[in-house]
Structure 1
Amino acid sequence: MLKLHELTKSYADGRRVLNRLSYSLGAGEYVAIMGESGVGKSTLLNLIAGLDTPDSGEVVIDGTAISSLDEDAATRLRREKFGFIFQAFHVLPHLTLLQNVALPLLLNGASAERAYDMLDAVGLRGRAGDFPRQLSGGELQRVAIARALVHRPALILADEPTGNLDPDTAHDVLALLRNEIRENGASAIIVTHSPAAAATADRVLTLTKDGLQPAALRPRE
């Protein structure tokens, strides 16, 4: 599904955060990545998504190198195959919650009916007509999660998906994420500082200056 080949990336100040990192993620595999702040976890997700460009190396999705695609083709790939859950939410303020969640379906020419189900799944069906300005940070996070999953993406990328949620809501959202991965045969990578979130994954890795290493934390059965 996903292959990372010798990715290298440095920040603008010259500090190198990724050094020839290679990794393969199989279809249906769910991996959690942990690590200290500033080690490059979010940068790695942005490189996988094609939102940032590596200094060297390659990101390959289903046999296609992202760097080989023009801008339109790369956008189409992200729209069809990726689901993003990022810390900044990126919820569109001028759209209702329902319209925000339905957006990936409409962009892919699909029916928007599943958007209601996803709002229901994150406990916000009764807020479908509300606008983002009426929501708390935790509620915005749930909208972002519903939008990321609504079109049944093949690859889910999540950056601290439970960072703005209380423990009970975080538990429910992680259960939803796990269920969507299993039902749709999706692959997923979550970046998290939360051992509880990481423990829902099939594998837990730690990102260090030496690359991705197996973590001491073991996922729950």
Structure 2
Amino acid sequence: MHTDTETMPPAVDAPPALECRGLRKSYGHGRVVLAHLDFALAAGEYVAIMGDSGVGKSTLLNLIAGLDSANSGMILIDGVSMSSLDDDAATLLRRQKLGFIFQAFHVLPHLTLQQNVALPLLLNGAPQERALELLAAVGLAGRGNDFPRQLSGGEMQRVAIARALVHRPKLILADEPTGNLDPDTAHEVLALLRQEIKANGASAIMVTHSAAAAASADRILVMSADGLQPLKQ
């Protein structure tokens, strides 16, 4: 994992970027996916989470992103408990502070690449010029008027990453961001992701099965039925 000097220590009095306290999630027939999970992500920290399929890694990201709800427990973003906010306030906080990179891209086929990347800016009422800057940063300069059908899988993942980063979110969630990429493209995407995270002082969680991808993070945790534990070297 990365130990270079680009990682700045968080301010002493800074609240964790994210706290999960006693998260529990179960599905039909009592299948427990997460059982009283506790986790904290420091401001400016980039963490990779590994573990067997079905152990709850993607479920954790979905709970943090508000795409699913826990049976019990608390999620705090920048010290704010999401359960203390009404739906509109929680949506606004996530819209402003979160960026989510989906394994399946979720690029909208009827929008151009520029329009896809600009969506978070549009929703936040921000100037949209940065959309073209981010497309260039992911190696798609001059492609803003193209449509997703004209892209390879690796190029669509680049668009998804540009969209997740364009509004400079303070918390980035990445679900298997290299799962559909060839090794060379994966290496480039991981370098870009880390560069953008550190340049914007963001915090990030990446769920991955790839040891090579996990090595780009500041630290690696392994999820099991017992929760999250540091990777044993």
Q: Report TM bin, short chain.
A: over 0.9
5+ residue gaps in structure 1?
none
CA distance in 1, matches of 2:205, 2:151: 27
Of the three residues 70, 95, 98, the one matched with 2:114 is 98
1:21-52 CA distance string (max 9 Å, x none): 00111100000000000001000000111111
5+ residue gaps in structure 2?
1-16
Say which SS state the counterpart of residue 24 (structure 1) adopts.
strand
> Contact (CA 8 Å) 1:50, 1:66: kept in 2 or not?
no
> Contact (CA 8 Å) 1:4, 1:22: kept in 2 or not?
yes
Q: Give yes or no for the alignment of 1:113 onto 2:132.
A: no
Q: Which residue of 2 aligns with 1:64?
A: 80
Q: Which residue of 2 aligns with 1:194?
A: 210
Q: Give yes or no for the alignment of 1:23 onto 2:44.
A: no
Q: Which runs of 4+ in 1 moved over 3 A?
A: none
Q: Which residue of 2 aligns with 1:32?
A: 48
Q: Which residue of 1 aligns with 2:12?
A: none
CA distance in 1, matches of 2:30, 2:149: 38
CA distance in 1, matches of 2:231, 2:20: 19
CA distance in 2, matches of 1:160, 1:178: 14
CA distance in 1, matches of 2:94, 2:85: 11
Q: Which residue of 1 aligns with 2:196?
A: 180
> Quick check: 114-123 or 38-47, which moved more?
114-123
Paired residues for 1:1-221 under 5 Å: 1-216=17-232
1:82 alignment partner AA = L
CA distance in 2, matches of 1:146, 1:108: 16
Count of aligned pairs = 217
1:116-172 CA distance string (max 9 Å, x none): 111111111232111112222222111101100111100000000111111111111
Say which SS state the counterpart of residue 133 (structure 2) adopts.
helix
Say which SS state the counterpart of residue 222 (structure 2) adopts.
strand
2:121 alignment partner AA = L
Say which SS state the counterpart of residue 220 (structure 2) adopts.
strand
1:9 Cα deviation from its structure 2 partner: 0.6
Q: Which residue of 1 aligns with 2:9?
A: none
CA distance in 2, matches of 1:88, 1:171: 18
Say which SS state the counterpart of residue 181 (structure 1) adopts.
helix
1:41-93 CA distance string (max 9 Å, x none): 00000011111111110101112111222221111111100000011212112
> Quick check: 135-144 or 153-162, which moved more?
135-144
Say which SS state the counterpart of residue 119 (structure 2) adopts.
helix
> Contact (CA 8 Å) 1:47, 1:53: kept in 2 or not?
yes
Say which SS state the counterpart of residue 67 (structure 1) adopts.
helix
CA distance in 1, matches of 2:28, 2:107: 28
Say which SS state the counterpart of residue 125 (structure 1) adopts.
coil
CA distance in 2, matches of 1:210, 1:97: 42
2:51 alignment partner AA = G
